[in-house]
Structure 1
């Protein structure tokens, strides 16, 4: 039996290490990466859960939904969640929804990003 060690999934132009080192967005690094995240958001659609964890790291929080769906929460800025463990805060966050096949089906923000016109 062969066990391979594949390189973790990455998306060109996105600093996965910097993102992952800012757990829960509490250091403020993710808030400087919001535009970078938004630029790769479409590239995450259809990717399996394991690849999302490679790219964005372990989620800051997770919600189980009906019909086998799950949502990974990644905070984009510091908030009350930095001091109160196991509580969601009103800090802006990205919510990555997985369908029953564990593939990304939707990515939303608590507070949508302003669009430039």
Structure 2
């Protein structure tokens, strides 16, 4: 019976470690970023330099890596052919009062292509 459980245990361990964040991105303060939803506390603005250092490393990464690293997007657009754009605000703005509309505050756009990989990471207005 124990011999049958070992492959299941190994597969479970592999799956749990595969959904994490790559080592090259682990220096980024992900928890502070995620805890400042809509950038209303001003913490993300302090992390823009740190984010810029890892921005290019996001290219080609799967969508789940972005969500594990940056959390749920503040806003999202669905484009044709199952492409998506995730918006993450960098500074406080009108999004702190009305979250149903995009604000004029600066944000990061992460474009996810139809295969679920990051194809572009840009700033609306670089700080």
Using the size of structure 1 for normalisation, the TM-score is 0.90
Structure 2 residues without counterparts, runs of 5 or longer: 1-7
**Runs of 4+ with >6 A deviation:** none
- Say which SS state the counterpart of residue 52 (structure 1) adopts: helix
Q: Any idea what the Cα deviations from partners look like across 1:83-110, whole Å, max 9, x if unmatched?
A: 1021110000000001110100001111
Structure 1 residues without counterparts, runs of 5 or longer: none
Q: Does residue 74 of structure 2 align to residue 74 of structure 1?
A: no
CA distance in 2: counterparts of 1:47 and 1:59, whole angstroms? 16
1:1-117 counterparts in 2 under 5 A?
A: 2-4=11-13, 5-6=16-17, 8-10=20-22, 11-113=25-127
Q: Any idea what the Cα deviations from partners look like across 1:29-71, whole Å, max 9, x if unmatched?
A: 0000111111100010000000100000010000011222100
Using the size of structure 2 for normalisation, the TM-score is 0.83
